[in-house]
Structure 1
Amino acid sequence: MVRTIGILGAGRVGSAIARTALKAGYAVHISGSGPAAGIQLIVDIVTPGAVAMAAAEVAASADLVILAVPLHKYRTVEPATLAGKIVIDTMNYWQPIDGDQHEFTADARSSSEVVGDFFVGARLVKTLNHIGYHDLETDARPAGDPGRHGLALAGDAESAAVVAEVINRFGFDPVYAGPLEAGADFEPGSPIFGGRHTAAELVTELGLAEAA
């Protein structure tokens, strides 16, 4: 059972996720790019209730880790600290924003598969990447609410099941798209990315209805 969520990245995305997780009842540990003292004041103001830590401490203390750093900085995270952990990858490669990054443009796979090669031993699940950080808090709804939106996730089935419960507690209906490579279906450039979809709409967009 996930009780403590660790967030690597204290920017807008990481902070929005931290507030959402706190509201859902999770303990939250969060790190920036340096020592905990460097973000303590920001955390106290922006995400009250979260605990600022160094990245290695966040990874070690959390039941589940969320990668919310800018994509070009993912290699600043020590891979050994995430080995054996379930890790949510919220990052996207978006060429108009990120520029021409050869490791992604030269690889036909999803960005999460490329990132996964670096984090050997981590159990990556791609989600929280196709919704705007500002919508994460405003769109959250209790289970059964007719206005509830869905969030797609991709990864191995066992890890995805754990993440699905977190997504549910965050206030969204989780929709399992398949293994990690299925994350390409909700990356930038897809019909899903940036939209606000119900779970049923995601099932249709992902072609899961036909598969069933």
Structure 2
Amino acid sequence: MTTLGIIGAGNIGSQIARVAVANGYDVVIANSRGPETLADLVAQLGPRARAATPADAAAAGDAVVVTVPLHAIDSLPVEQLAGKIVLDTNNYYFERDGHIEALDKGETTTSELLQQRLPGSKIAKAFNHIYASAITTDGSPAGTPDRRALATAGDDAEAVDFVTRFYDEAGFDTVNIGPLSESWRVERDRPAYVVRQNAEELRANLAIANRVP
């Protein structure tokens, strides 16, 4: 049985939790306000889910979803995430995060910043270019014509393989962009961002993306 840790219980985190539970995962979910604030969500998720602190969710997960604002990544539990597959859902919103020069200039990506924060973790991009509500409504069985596709990127093959498997369980095809340095292609304001697309359409949108919008 695979346990999925989730750090961040907002729109994305809660929807990923629902998908995980529906596919037989145990879920340990955390937010910044304390486990007691997640009682209603855990009740909805059922007996496979429990609330915890971020450090405990990180320690418990065989893989861990990090879905917190970019400005909050410095608070992540580095030690507990070492050696773990970490799914990064982040996007850069300067209105929320403040301007980060290296991102503004296209010199790095949000996933590479997370990798710097978590040097011992295996980072892969996931679920960053889909509206939260669509995570539980747009999936369809493998082989469905025009099945929606989502992108991933990562420097670690094991992490990319996990995302590919989890996407398929959630009902999505996968397009592998390549290393984390290419993950900008699916970030905010690019052609592939939050639009419904099949794998062929996603590849086309990734190819025409500009580094600095």
Same fold by TM-score greater than 0.5? yes
What does 1:57-206 correspond to in 2, within 5 Å?
57-102=56-101, 104-105=103-104, 108-156=107-155, 157-206=157-206
Partner of residue 48 from structure 1, selected from 46, 49, 55: 46
**Within 2, Cα distance between the matches of 1:39 and 1:159?**
28
Runs of 5+ unmatched residues, structure 2: 209-213
Q: Which deviations, in whole Å up to 9, do the C-alpha atoms of 1:161-211 show, x marking residues without a partner? A: 122111111110011110111111100121001111101212222349xxx
Code of the aligned partner of 1:166: F
**Within 2, Cα distance between the matches of 1:117 and 1:183?**
15
**Within 2, Cα distance between the matches of 1:107 and 1:175?**
22
**Within 2, Cα distance between the matches of 1:136 and 1:127?**
11
Give the 3-state SS of the residue equivalent to 1:84 in structure 2.
coil
Q: TM-score by structure 2 length?
A: 0.89
Asked whether the 8 Å contact 2:92–2:110 carries over to 1, the reply is yes
Structure 1 runs (4+) deviating above 6 angstroms are none
**Within 2, Cα distance between the matches of 1:42 and 1:143?**
29
Q: TM-score by structure 1 length?
A: 0.89
Asked whether the 8 Å contact 1:141–1:147 carries over to 2, the reply is no
Give the 3-state SS of the residue equivalent to 2:177 in structure 1.
strand
CA RMSD of aligned residues (A): 2.0
**Within 2, Cα distance between the matches of 1:106 and 1:34?**
34
Code of the aligned partner of 1:12: N
Cα deviation, residue 96, structure 1: 4.2
Runs of 5+ unmatched residues, structure 1: none
Question: Aligned pairs, how many?
Answer: 206
Distance 1:95 1:34, change over 3 A: closer
Code of the aligned partner of 1:140: G
Give the 3-state SS of the residue equivalent to 1:39 in structure 2.
helix
Greater shift after overlay, 141-150 or 120-129? 141-150
Distance 1:17 1:105, change over 3 A: same
Task: Tell me the residue number matched to 2:37.
Answer: 38
Code of the aligned partner of 2:114: V
Asked whether the 8 Å contact 2:154–2:179 carries over to 1, the reply is yes
Residue identity (%): 37
**Within 1, Cα distance between the matches of 2:108 and 2:114?**
10
Q: Which deviations, in whole Å up to 9, do the C-alpha atoms of 1:32-81 show, x marking residues without a partner? A: 11432232234324x33421111111111111100011222111112111
Distance 1:186 1:52, change over 3 A: same
